[in-house]
Amino acid sequence: MATTITLTYKGKDYTLGYTRRSVKIMEQRGFSIQELDSKPLTTMLELWHGAFLAKYPGISQTLTEEIYDKISGKEALIEILAESYSEPLTAVTTDPEESLGEVEWRRS
């Protein structure tokens, strides 16, 4: 998890972000970031709920929506979440800075 958001709600600290595993779970549940324009309410709330999955996989959607309803700066928050969501996807397709030489491949 590269970019994270921390918040405190009712005395409990939460660290939000995305991992390959949490993005995969979201996709398996039908989430698509491309639907942010066509289905903004559904997509924003799913993006928000998904940010909890990496560290709090059993958290209820009811609780995450309760927190979302009380948080300020929602527009900036959604922008940060959308950027953060793409980080695990970028990591999968980006070569490491330093080649470890452990895996070589070639087309045959």
Res 92: pLDDT:
76
Answer for the pair 14, 8: CB distance below 8 angstroms, yes or no: yes
For 21-78, the pLDDT digits (tens) are 999 999 999 999 999 889 999 999 999 999 999 999 999 999 999 999 999 999 999 9
Q: How many CB atoms lie within 10 A of CB 85?
A: 20
Segment 80-104 mean pLDDT: 78
How much helix, strand and coil, in percent to the nearest 5, is found in the chain? 55, 10, 40
The domains of the chain are located at 5-92
State residue 32's pLDDT score.
93
Report d(CA 2, CA 84) in Å as an integer: 8
Which residues are CB-neighbours of 101 under 8 A, at least 6 positions away?
A: none
Query: What global pTM score does this model have?
Result: 0.81
Quote the pLDDT of residue 106: 72
